[in-house]
Amino acid sequence: MKRRTLLHAAGAAAAAVMLPAARGQSYPAKPIRMIIPFPPGGATDILGRVLAQKLGDQLGQSVVVENRPGAGGAIGSEMTAKAPPDGYTIQMATVSTHSIGPALNPKTPYNVKRDFAPVIHLADSTNVLIVSPSLPVNNLKELIAYAKAHPGKLNFSSSGNGTIVHMTGEMFKMETGTFIVHIPYKGTALAIPDLIAGQISLMFDNLASALPHVKSGKVKTLAVTQLKRSTLLPEVPSMDEAGLKGFESNTYFGVFAPAGTPAPIVQRLNAEINKALQTADFRERLAANGAEPVGGTPEQFARVIERETAKYAAVIKRAGIKPE
């Protein structure tokens, strides 16, 4: 009996060790929901859909995109945080939703460290300064001079209060000593028509969503917000090159799951997305949408989140920005 008991205990222990691995191997057994916390057409939506298609092909299950915009990405992020931690709800998120928003608003309805499991740092993307074709400026120096000569006359749109697009505009105001009115939208895709029509003066849109409008010439493109020129827009100077030395504001895009999602499932998702990032077709699709592939481990991504949160918390404090 003692021998049988020992064998039974050993078997149970082995099963306990094998269960998580088996859970990761058998996953997914049904479609996965990917929450995008912004409207269709914006940078997060574009890259999320590219990933959803590739990931679905690799996993053999559909990855269904669900747009849940509002509150600068907080509505969709809260939905993810409260979803069952079973691997069947993931989120495509950004520096806006997981670094800036929580740093700006203590009442954000989720805590990034407590409520989310980082999966992977998918890509980085620069922002680009675009202005209305009706605005009488053609370069960064002319824009700054015009804004200083007409305080409060110009406005800039964003994808919501506390987003990277908003923060970049506030950084620009601080660095140039200009007064430009912020007008938040529920996504930059909704603001572009108003920018083209002249109702909005300027915007620091993410390159992923701005690129088609830049290429079409429907907006004036003055600079990119990384320190060097973008390989996708080699003719456009960087903010640093155009006169604002050291000005840099980029966006990270990453995948999160609800906290408590089993580690083998997080590891499986991480491995599959890293695998996708190594394929030429996926990298080309990211690049075509203004994004640079990154990849790596969940732990590496967690460190990026902490670093960017600290950076923008300092901007928020210096500028005296308050949640709306």
Which residue blocks in 61-206 are alpha helix, DSSP H? 74-82, 95, 101-104, 112-115, 140-149, 164-176, 188-197
Which of 1-10, 101-110, 297-306 reaches the highest mean pLDDT?
297-306
Q: pLDDT of 96-141, one tens digit each?
A: 899 998 999 989 999 999 999 999 999 999 999 999 999 999 999 9
Class of 126-242 in CATH: alpha beta
Residues of the chain with CATH 3.40.190.150: 29-125+250-319
d(CA 191, CA 62): 31
∠ CA 12-17-21, nearest 5°, is 130
Residues of the chain with CATH 3.40.190.10: 126-242
d(CA 103, CA 43): 22
217, burial (CB in 10 Å: exposed 0-12, middle 13-18, buried 19+): exposed
CATH architecture classification, 29-125+250-319: 3-Layer(aba) Sandwich (3.40)
Q: pLDDT of 16-65, one tens digit each?
A: 444 444 455 689 999 999 999 998 988 899 999 999 999 999 999 999 99
In this prediction the pTM is 0.78
